[in-house]
Amino acid sequence: MTPEFIIVTPQARPYIAHVQLNRPKELNALNLQLMQELRDALQQLDADENVRCIVLSGNDKAFAAGADIKQMAGRTAVDMYNIDQFTIWDGIKKIRKPIIAAVSGFALGGGCELAMLCDMIVASETAKFGQPEIKIGVMPGAGGTQRLTRAVGKALAMEMVLTGRFISAGEALAAGLINRIAPVELFLEDAFRLAADVARQSPLAVKVAKESVLRAFDSTLEEGLHFERKNFYLLFASEDQKEGMKAFMEKREPVFTGK
């Protein structure tokens, strides 16, 4: 079925897929259907061997202004428990290919959390990141207190979560939340360029390396180093390792296949 709230282009560039959030009138507010469509599309792209990296964007005005407040407003705790919307987020967390968020305008609440669930963030000069849930009587629920704190540290995370203050792209870059900033007319292209730099690497090594970097957040240093070492050894079972090292010695570009 064609999704209603997202636009999926599996080959936006060679080996690079583009998923665009598409509820522009509501500033891409993340209702349940949108999140289900997004999870389903990402899972399909994860299984597509012609895709090596995914760019996720909104539009120039908004990446996403958060969870859909109108959809949530009347819900009880029991409704929230039964709907259990975060299993959808857990599905997105399990995507093995790298996802680059291309953020322009608002990335607020669940929108900021969605950007942080991605592996890298390219922002336009107009990007605004925030966790304003406190202003509507709640708090972040999709990782905002955890991923934001790990990315920017306690002082700024506490301020953003407790006051709802938005930070600019410049402040986000200085704090380590994002990778780079581009003019609004170029941010998407810049995200595709970063995606191309990833897509030209061995797709197998990229997936295993992504998994290893993410492990740094969930383990002790000793466990993380152990995990890394096993994955490093594992890659010596791949054709891409043979090809990559051979190409280096033959002074040519490698041709990676993901095998």
Under rule CB under 6 A, residue 106 binds ligand CO8: yes
Under rule CB under 6 A, residue 134 binds ligand CO8: no
Residue whose pair of structure tokens reads 């061997």 in the numeric block: 49
Asked if residues 38 and 6 have their Cβ atoms less than 8 Å apart, the reply is yes
Q: Which one among 17, 95, 108, 118 touches ligand CO8, defined by CB under 6 A?
A: 108
DSSP H helix total and E strand total for the chain: 12, 10
In what helix (H) or strand (E) does residue 182 lie, and over which residues does it extend?
A: strand 180-182
Under rule CB under 6 A, residue 198 binds ligand CO8: no
| Choice among 41, 113, 127, 175 that is catalytic | 113
Task: Give the single-character DSSP code of 135.
Answer: G
Distance CA 201, CA 210 (A): 12
Task: Using the rule CB under 6 A, give the single segment among 118-126, 136-144, 198-206, 212-220 that binds ligand CO8.
Answer: 136-144
Under rule CB under 6 A, residue 118 binds ligand CO8: no
Q: What is the maximum alpha-carbon separation in the chain? A: 65
Under rule CB under 6 A, residue 109 binds ligand CO8: yes
Task: Using the rule CB under 6 A, give the single segment among 39-47, 92-100, 137-145, 240-248 that binds ligand CO8.
Answer: 137-145
Under rule CB under 6 A, residue 110 binds ligand CO8: yes
Under rule CB under 6 A, residue 143 binds ligand CO8: no
109 a catalytic residue: no
Distance CA 193, CA 200 (A): 11
Task: Give the bridge partners for 8, in sequence order.
Answer: 19
Using left for φ > 0, alpha for ψ between -120 and 50, and beta otherwise, residue 222 falls in: alpha
Q: Which of residues 75-104 bind ligand CO8 (CB under 6 A)?
A: 85
Q: Which one among 16, 27, 42, 102 touches ligand CO8, defined by CB under 6 A?
A: 27
113 a catalytic residue: yes
Distances (CA, A) of 82 to 79, 133, 181, 186, 196: 5, 21, 40, 42, 41
Under rule CB under 6 A, residue 65 binds ligand CO8: yes
Task: Using the rule CB under 6 A, give the single segment among 46-54, 106-114, 180-188, 220-228 that binds ligand CO8.
Answer: 106-114
Catalog residues that contact ligand CO8 under the rule CB under 6 A.
26-27, 29-30, 35, 65-70, 85, 106, 108-110, 132-133, 136, 140-142
Catalytically annotated residues = 67, 110, 113, 133
